[in-house]
Structure 1
Amino acid sequence: MNKIKEAIFSSRDPTFHKKIPIILLLFVIGLVMITQKEPSVELPKEEVKEDSPEISVLERQLENKIAALLKKSLGTAKVDVMITLGSGERMVYEKNEQIQQDNGEEQRNDHQSFSGRKSTSSEVVFGQAASSGEPVLKYIEKPPVAGVLIAAEGTESAGVKKKVIEAVSRALDVSTHRVAVIPYQ
């Protein structure tokens, strides 16, 4: 190794063209070392759930309802619906909110006066006692619809496709650009 360093960094050999073979040799050795496959240690894999069972069930229920309505309105039995929901249900708990207002008058830099400052604070309401009771559930927020794909017979015309998009958009409370309708083949 010392001979290689000496050959590359030697001041006795001022010509670079004699050092090129040594540099190339070192480069190739480096590539071989990098590309050699080291014995890998198998790490335990984490289980990742892509869809929770609750979301899958809710998606299927919505798909079945929309498909049944479209079958009736389009007068065909060939309708498939796929709905993708966003994140899971969100629990919203009851809170005590306190609003404090300071009625003092202050001067701003622009010499205008204004009165009062508001500050709010909130805390979750518990059932019996804060230490042992459960928080009071206000409501459960359903997951938002991320997208809808509909394949239906009879949606070849632009007018029918537009009506289907508008109806599904209103029924699921989702914007029209998140609804796609394709003809059933």
Structure 2
Amino acid sequence: MKLMKLISSDKILLGLVGLVAVGMSFIYLGKGAVTPPQSIQAKSAATASLTTNSRISALEKELESKLQANILQMEGAGKVQVSVSFSTGLKTEYARNQNVTKSTTKETDKTGGTRETTAVTDNNQVVMPSGSSQPVMVMEDRPEVAGVLIIAEGARDPKVREEIHTAVQTLLNIPSARITVRVMGGP
């Protein structure tokens, strides 16, 4: 008799363990699946990040080319190589539709007391043109220059090195400490 009870309680215990395992697998599989809207949002954010990084790289390359072209025109500079890095990303400001609503309510109770309540609602939304997924841009600033490295053949001459340094500082309007001019070595 005890043996039958033990066997039946083992079957019940085994059944419960099996149910818990199946339930846990459903929970695990349910959390692992990404719903399409989440997937689209993740891809959109990744695309925006890649687009921003490629735009920053393009701006760096454009600035390097312009600086190199200007320095090459300087007397005594010789061959020149320029590297520019930014410390910040693009700064973008979007148009906003700002609505501020103010309402005042005055109440009088039975005993003659008055109570005044003021509610202020501030609605500040980004302006989206109809049919477009991009907001209206008001301003876009270039990133801040972190540093500039110029390697020039003519940098052996201290006068040429100083002229290159001053020209870059003037063109970019950055502190002198962010500019390094070195002598080009090798063949």
TM superposition score normalised by structure 2 = 0.50
Match of 2:75 in 1: 74
State yes or no: 1:161 paired with 2:161. yes
Q: Deviations over 1:102-155 (max 9, x none)?
A: xxxxxxxxxxxxxxxxxxx894552568xx986432111111111000011112
Q: Matches of residues 1-185 of structure 1 in structure 2 within 5 Å?
A: 52-95=53-96, 123-124=124-125, 126-127=127-128, 135-185=135-185
Contact 2:169 2:175 in 1 (8 A): yes
Deviation (angstroms), 1:95: 4.7
Structure 1: tracts of 5 or more residues without a match: 1-46, 99-120
Percent identity between the two aligned chains: 31
Relative to structure 1, the CA distance from residue 135 to residue 56 in structure 2 (aligned partners, 3 Å threshold; closer, same or farther) is closer
Q: Deviations over 1:66-94 (max 9, x none)?
A: 11111111345410101011222121123
Deviation (angstroms), 1:169: 1.3
Contact 2:97 2:126 in 1 (8 A): yes
Partner Cα separation in structure 2 for residue 138 and residue 92 of structure 1: 6
Partner Cα separation in structure 2 for residue 141 and residue 88 of structure 1: 9
Relative to structure 1, the CA distance from residue 134 to residue 183 in structure 2 (aligned partners, 3 Å threshold; closer, same or farther) is closer
Contact 1:78 1:153 in 2 (8 A): yes
Partner Cα separation in structure 2 for residue 182 and residue 161 of structure 1: 8
Structure 2: tracts of 5 or more residues without a match: 1-45, 100-121
Contact 2:80 2:151 in 1 (8 A): yes
Relative to structure 1, the CA distance from residue 165 to residue 77 in structure 2 (aligned partners, 3 Å threshold; closer, same or farther) is closer
Question: Which runs of at least 4 in structure 1 moved beyond 6 Å after TM superposition?
Answer: none
Corresponding residue pairs, total: 115
